[in-house]
Amino acid sequence: MKIALCQLNPITGDIAGNTAKLVAAVSQTSAGADLFVFPELFVQGYPPRDLLEQSWFAESGMRALDEIRRFSSSVPGAGILFGFAMPNNRPNGKRLSNSALLVCNGNIVFEQAKSLLPTYDVFDESRYFDPAPRRAVVPFKGERLGITVCEDAWNDPHMWHKLLYDFDPVAELAGLGATLLVNLSASPFYLGKEATRYAIVQNHARRHGMPFIFVNQTGGNDELVFDGNSMIVDASGALRAKLPPFAECVQVVDTAAFGPAIEPPRLDTIESAHAAIVTGLSDYIHKCGFLEALVGLSGGIDSALTAALAVDALGSANVWGVTMPSRYSSEGSVADSRAVAKNLGIKFSVIPIEGPFAAFLKELEPAFAGIVPGLAEENIQARVRGTILMALSNKFGHILLSTGNKSELAVGYCTLYGDMNGGLGVISDLPKTMVYKLARHVNRGREIIPASSLTKPPSAELRPNQKDQDTLPPYEILDPIIELFVEDGLSASEIVNKGFDEKTVSWVVAAVKNSEYKRRQAAPGLKVTPKAFGMGRRFPLAAKYEC
């Protein structure tokens, strides 16, 4: 069978646009295919969230389904398999299924609803969908297709110590006589996911002795980035087709004539992190209707890296860097800001903050009388800068990019309504140690981020001779503790038992807990690690607990 793997980038909610993209992909595929396979919920875009609860959205989806069904008559004999939010007409429950629909010759010839509905991390599918009441195979073109949707393939008992669900849909379909396994996915990226996903697909093929086709969405939607990496493995688990990561692609593969096996690519490298952020940043900006971005340049590594990523995503003509020196800014910081702007070829402006900062201090002098200057005065500077950047954003219609990293966001080393201002947190899921790795990757061909930004001690420069590690543990210690606490869910005592200083661990854990209110007000950030702050980590604010 000739199968077209349609790895495409839908826009969430754009039912008409996504339908047109589906029609174009089928129409423009020159090597005629027997079966076109599209990702999960392709027509509605993933994740559609509460759009699914709107009656007008459901009606728009049904009109699109009629259009696809009619269009299929123009490609007689070809099957079009795509993800769709389908009304299930049950008297109770959510009355909606996350389905894979097979359309051929003007008819819906098969529907398989998703069986396993994830409700962890960024997923909340049981909020919207009913699970499939049953699974079945469908005869098509001499094969018996066993069709699953994303999570359905992730409950392999040979892959996990603890299973989330009490059955394996893939194994059930194999037992029902499937000869070809097909999985429609909207599987988001994080570092480590590529290798895990590849192992799952391989394992299913080997266990059940049949080819496995995996088609994944690509592109960015809100905080989530989808890497594509669609593939076909044969019955032995050998890789026979692999679509490029982070790119739209339609590739036709003949399962009767695979050709030589493909060497598995290197996965989960710093290149993957770079590509994910650039993809997510570009799509977020363009899908939200912006054309240009604004970055506050401090002379430090975080803002320099953010600007470099913005240029990779948008081009140098569409990025504006602004440095805002204060009485505490070093000459080197202004010079480094100017240097990175020059290296990137972006517009660059210097707007000093001494005037407004001094005015704030003067107006607040009566209220602050008799109190030693401290954090409040430091944060005024960050908030003046945030106000200037938001004014420029409002005036010129540029999206402001927040430049804070995950380490800072974790422990609250950031200022609400100051450096936290922005429409998107570009590196907010990158720990500081990974920021350095990615910056060096950006500099692999030539110096873009100045060497001094990579080597000088990080500083907010809000008071004389300030350094981050006057307040924070060294990042080489802080980042592993954050990973163990936030991503792995370990308690303070468990982290100490791994060899970390008890006092340091207690401080970090308390800082993470006490900064929840800040993160609740932070810009959405692109997900890169297995557990990002934001939609995938939901902790209470007014709470008291020991960990």
Enzyme catalytic residues: 40, 114, 150
Which residues contact residue 334 at a Cβ distance below 8 angstroms, ignoring those fewer than 6 apart? Answer: 299, 323, 325, 350
Of 154, 121, 148, which is closest to residue 132 (Cα–Cα)?
Answer: 148
Q: What 3-state DSSP class applies to 16?
A: helix
Cβ burial 150-181 (10 Å sphere, 16+ → b, else e):
bbbbbbbeeeeeeeeeeebbbbbbbeeebbbb
Identity at 140, one-letter amino acid code:
F
Count the neighbouring beta carbons within 10 Å of the beta carbon of residue 11. Answer: 15
Count the neighbouring beta carbons within 10 Å of the beta carbon of residue 254. Answer: 15
Helix H or strand E encompassing 348: strand 347-350
Burial class (CB within 10 angstroms; exposed 0-12, middle 13-18, buried 19+) of 386: buried
DSSP 469-496: GGTSPPHHHHHHHHIIIIIS---HHHHH
* Both structure tokens of 10: 């839908």
- Pairing status of strand 180-185 against strand 96-104: unpaired
Identity at 341, one-letter amino acid code:
A
Count the neighbouring beta carbons within 10 Å of the beta carbon of residue 375. Answer: 10
Alpha helices in 397-423 (DSSP H): 406-411
End-to-end CA distance of the chain: 55
Instruction: In whole angstroms, give the CA distance from residue 273 to residue 136.
Output: 38
Strand order across the beta sheet in which 96-104 lies? 107-113, 96-104, 79-87, 35-37, 2-7, 249-254
Helix H or strand E encompassing 213: strand 212-216
Task: Tell me how far CA of residue 209 lies from CA of 3, 449, 483, in angstroms.
Answer: 19, 50, 38
